[in-house]
Amino acid sequence: MKHFLLAGIHPELTLAEAEAVLSIKIEQRMGPMLFVDQAGFDGAALQERLAGVVKLGDVLFEADLKDLELKALAEQLADQIDVRPRGERVLFGLTVIGSSNDIAPLKKLPIELKRTLQDRDRSVRWVTGDRGEISPAAVAKLKLTTEGYDFVIGVSGKKAVIGLTTHVQNADAWSLRDYGRPFRDAKTGMLPPKLARLMINLATHDGQEPTSLLDPFCGGGTVLMEAAMLFPDAVLVGSDIDPIQVGGSKQNFVWLNQEGLVALSSEPKLIVAPVQNLGREIQQTFDAIVTEGYLGEPLRGHEPRPFLMKNQENVEGVWEDALPVLANLLNKGGRLVCVWPEFVVGKEVVSTDASAAAKRAGFRVLRSDLKYGRADQRVVRRVIVLEKA
The DSSP secondary structure of 353-378, one letter per residue, reads --HHHHHHTTEEEEEEEEEE--TT-S
135: left (phi over 0), alpha (psi -120 to 50) or beta: beta
Please state whether beta strands 269-272 and 235-240 pair in parallel, antiparallel, or not at all (unpaired). Answer: parallel
* pLDDT recorded at residue 264: 75
Rounded average pLDDT over 320-330: 98
Compute the distance between CA of residue 82 and CA of residue 120 in angstroms, rounded to an integer: 10
Residue 67 pLDDT grade (very low, low, confident, very high; cuts 50, 70, 90): confident
**Mean pLDDT for the chain overall:** 95
Give the relative orientation of helices 193-202 and 222-230 as an angle to the nearest 10 degrees. Answer: 60
pLDDT tens digits along 255-265: 999 999 988 77
Q: E strand or H helix at 337, and its extent?
A: strand 330-345
Rounded average pLDDT over 285-291: 98
Rounded average pLDDT over 116-130: 94
Compute the distance between CA of residue 95 and CA of residue 43 in angstroms, rounded to an integer: 19
* pLDDT recorded at residue 380: 96
First to last CA, the chain: 37
CA-closest candidate to residue 26, choices 8, 2, 47 = 2
* pLDDT recorded at residue 323: 98
* pLDDT recorded at residue 153: 97
| pLDDT score of 14 more than 80 | yes
Residue 376 pLDDT grade (very low, low, confident, very high; cuts 50, 70, 90): confident
* pLDDT recorded at residue 192: 94
* pLDDT recorded at residue 132: 74
More confident residue, 267 or 202: 202
| pLDDT score of 281 more than 90 | yes
DSSP secondary structure letter of residue 291: -
| pLDDT score of 131 more than 90 | no
* Percent of the chain whose predicted confidence (pLDDT) is above 70: 99
* pLDDT recorded at residue 205: 87
Please state whether beta strands 286-290 and 212-215 pair in parallel, antiparallel, or not at all (unpaired). Answer: parallel
pLDDT tens digits along 32-51: 999 999 888 999 999 999 99
State which amino acid sits at residue 64.
D
Compute the distance between CA of residue 66 and CA of residue 230 in angstroms, rounded to an integer: 45
* pLDDT recorded at residue 211: 96
Compute the distance between CA of residue 58 and CA of residue 162 in angstroms, rounded to an integer: 9
* pLDDT recorded at residue 3: 98
| Dihedral sign, Cα of residue 46, residue 48, residue 9, residue 99 | positive
Compute the distance between CA of residue 193 and CA of residue 282 in angstroms, rounded to an integer: 26
Residue 207 pLDDT grade (very low, low, confident, very high; cuts 50, 70, 90): confident
DSSP secondary structure letter of residue 347: T
Quick one: three-class SS letters along 71-112?
A: HHHHHHHHHHHHCCCCCCEEEEEEEEECCHHHHHHHCCHHHH
pLDDT tens digits along 153-202: 999 999 999 999 999 999 999 999 999 999 988 766 689 999 999 999 99
Domains and CATH numbers, the chain: 3-169 (3.30.2130.30), 172-388 (3.40.50.150)
Residue 53 pLDDT grade (very low, low, confident, very high; cuts 50, 70, 90): very high
Compute the distance between CA of residue 359 and CA of residue 366 in angstroms, rounded to an integer: 11
Residue 250 pLDDT grade (very low, low, confident, very high; cuts 50, 70, 90): very high
* pLDDT recorded at residue 30: 95
The DSSP secondary structure of 15-73, one letter per residue, reads HHHHHHHHTS----EETTEEEE--TT--HHHHHHH-SSEEEEEEEEEEEEGGG--HHHH
Cβ within 8 Å of residue 374, ≥6 positions away: 9
| pLDDT score of 266 more than 80 | no
* pLDDT recorded at residue 375: 84
Rounded average pLDDT over 268-290: 96
Residue 58 pLDDT grade (very low, low, confident, very high; cuts 50, 70, 90): very high
CA atoms within 13 A on the CB side of 254: 8
State which amino acid sits at residue 211.
T
Residue 320 pLDDT grade (very low, low, confident, very high; cuts 50, 70, 90): very high
